[in-house]
Structure 1
Amino acid sequence: MIENTHSAGRPLDPRSAWSGLSQAERDAAYDNNAAVKNSAALIAERNAASSRLRGSLRSHLDLAYGQRANNKIDLYPAARPEAPCLVFLHGGYWQRNSRELFAMLVEGIAAHGWSVAIPGYSLAPEVSLTDIVAEVPRALDWLAANGPSYGVAGPVVLSGWSAGAHLAAMALNHPSVHAGLAISGVYELAPIRDTGLNNALKLTDEEIAALSPLRLPVTSKRLDIAYGSNELPALVCDSINLHDKRVMAMAPGKLIPVDGADHFTILEALRRPDGVLVDAVRGLLD
């Protein structure tokens, strides 16, 4: 399925005049916390809900898939081992957050009989973005080999939010992945190097070329790309641009603007059993 409808419109991309922007303006172009006035309250509620749910849901927690401290995965198996599994990668600009803070997302798709797996990954500046990107396939390898022992043996849909959407796009071609859903992602890394985010990332020319999905050959698997209509323009444009690139390559996938959502509230569409992104995940196996 290929759809190319920009129903929410394309905002003015600040990167079109990037060289003329001040450092503060460049930083603001990617500062989701500052752009969403109640972001602190939204984050606090998300974290509290995840803390409550993580210990109460049927689960296998803190399973190591690699050698580094954050190379652990939380599994939330469905009643049927052969049920499909949503693998979700958290965000935080590759330098903050952890898998534990996103357990609140499990209930949405689990209500439809799915398993959920939430891998953690190492963070900058302790490791490079090259290292982080390489950890996701290792987590998927581990899940393919060991998931059945924990009741998770069904087809995998790979998703992620923010930095996790970038990581999901990078790992879409993993052999265990059936399809993907990228939410509110960054798919061109060059401007990131010109912001304060690069203090931790220290991106190189080689990483920008090799790790920007907008610069890479298109993977033919289905990838739905979602963003909130109230997101920062740079993120909206990256989502539209990646979808357009895939359309030109005849790769399947929908562009899903979530009306009224910002960078944080868009997760409600994956958290609620009736959310539009829960519907999107389920549709990826059609």
Structure 2
Amino acid sequence: MQLDDAYANAAHIPGADAFPPAWEKAAAAFRSKLGARAELGVSYGPTDRQAYDFFQPEGVSRGTVVFVHGGYWMKFDRSSWSHLAAGALGRGWAVAMPSYDLCPDARIAQITGQIARAVTHISKRTLGPIALVGHSAGGHLVSRMTDPVLLSSDVRGRIEQIIPISPVADLAPLMQTSLNETLQLDAAEAQSESPANMSPPHGVNVNVWVGANERPVFLEQAELLARAWGARRVVAEGLHHFDVIDALADSESDMVKALLGVK
């Protein structure tokens, strides 16, 4: 369809096929090394995919990061990303990584509701501030958590930082791609589920992150969200859609510092 190539990330990344198995291998090794500090498969909803992994830092946590994975709402689960918890854990934060039901078994609006349920469940077992970070479709989902109808005021009030990484902020163009055979977006859902159409959040520090070597539409989507929300946009030089997330594993990276509010 008209915009298929514009939103095709893997087709424009050299060696793209090697990334998913590398992520899975690194994630499994990280969980194994963490041992008892990794609590796996905590249920937050009625389906098998509505579960999260919870990683504890050494000592008392300073707060909790929730990472939401991408995959155009139709691929992957929490098990491929565990190693990305290393940066926040290294600074004394707990990290939760939820899975969610995928399209076409669930609509995007239903997935948004599932992530709100996950964040609420996680908030009940933790103390202190919450930081949200998500990649691609996950960037969309963490951005949606600022909608006041999704989270109670006490949970929303604990969210201090949000980093949407390479987010899809306007869903309407996806209706002009073959992705929509699975997503099944209509105009009403695209409108209501687009973070760019939401009111800017108050009391939350938002940094929109994107790789400089991403597809032009992802640079445009990041700019759109940053402009709509009056948020800071960070364009990471030399990085593309698949490696821009690597900085989450480094406790000294600018991304992790921004996520945790480190000056």
TM-score (normalised: structure 1): 0.84
Q: Is the 8 A contact 2:60 2:92 kept in 1?
A: no
1:48-107 superposed Cα distances (whole Å, 9 cap, x missing partner): 101111233121110000101111011101234441111100000000000011001011
Q: Is the 8 A contact 1:182 1:226 kept in 2?
A: yes
- Matching of residue 66 in structure 1 with residue 66 in structure 2: no
Q: Secondary structure at the match of 2:4?
A: helix
1:8-48 superposed Cα distances (whole Å, 9 cap, x missing partner): xxxxxxxxxxxxxxx2x511100111111211112221121
- Matching of residue 189 in structure 1 with residue 171 in structure 2: yes
Aligned position for 2:160: 178
- Matching of residue 161 in structure 1 with residue 138 in structure 2: no
Q: Secondary structure at the match of 1:26?
A: coil
1:186-213 superposed Cα distances (whole Å, 9 cap, x missing partner): 1111110111111111001210110011
1:48 to 15, 19, 25: 25
Larger relative CO (CA 8 A, sep 6+): 1 or 2? 1
- Matching of residue 117 in structure 1 with residue 91 in structure 2: no
**Separation in structure 2 between the aligned mates of residue 258 and residue 240 of structure 1, nearest angstrom:** 13
Alignment of 1:52-131 (within 5 A): 52-57=29-34, 58-131=37-110
**Separation in structure 2 between the aligned mates of residue 184 and residue 200 of structure 1, nearest angstrom:** 21
> Match for 2:66: what amino acid?
V
Q: Which runs of 5+ in 1 are unaligned?
A: 1-22, 248-252
> Match for 1:278: what amino acid?
V
> Match for 1:75: what amino acid?
F
- Matching of residue 278 in structure 1 with residue 256 in structure 2: yes
Seen in structure 2, the aligned counterparts of structure 1 residues 155 and 80 have a Cα distance that, compared at 3 Å, is: farther
> Match for 1:36: what amino acid?
I
**Separation in structure 2 between the aligned mates of residue 282 and residue 211 of structure 1, nearest angstrom:** 26
Q: Is the 8 A contact 1:47 1:101 kept in 2?
A: yes
Q: Is the 8 A contact 2:139 2:168 kept in 1?
A: yes
> Match for 1:209: what amino acid?
Q
Mean Cα deviation higher: 182-191 or 265-274: 265-274
Mean Cα deviation higher: 40-49 or 204-213: 40-49
Q: Is the 8 A contact 2:64 2:94 kept in 1?
A: yes
Aligned position for 2:194: 212
**How much has 1:135 moved relative to structure 2?**
0.6
Query: Greater Rg, structure 1 or structure 2?
Result: 1
> Match for 2:186: what amino acid?
T
Mean Cα deviation higher: 204-213 or 50-59: 50-59
Fraction of identical pairs, as percent: 28
**How much has 1:184 moved relative to structure 2?**
0.7
Q: Is the 8 A contact 1:268 1:275 kept in 2?
A: no
- Matching of residue 236 in structure 1 with residue 219 in structure 2: yes
1:39 to 4, 11, 16: 16
Q: Is the 8 A contact 1:172 1:180 kept in 2?
A: no
Q: Which runs of 5+ in 2 are unaligned?
A: none
> Match for 1:258: what amino acid?
A
Q: Is the 8 A contact 1:179 1:223 kept in 2?
A: yes
> Match for 1:189: what amino acid?
L
**Separation in structure 2 between the aligned mates of residue 38 and residue 186 of structure 1, nearest angstrom:** 23
**How much has 1:172 moved relative to structure 2?**
2.8
1:96-119 superposed Cα distances (whole Å, 9 cap, x missing partner): 000011001011221111111101
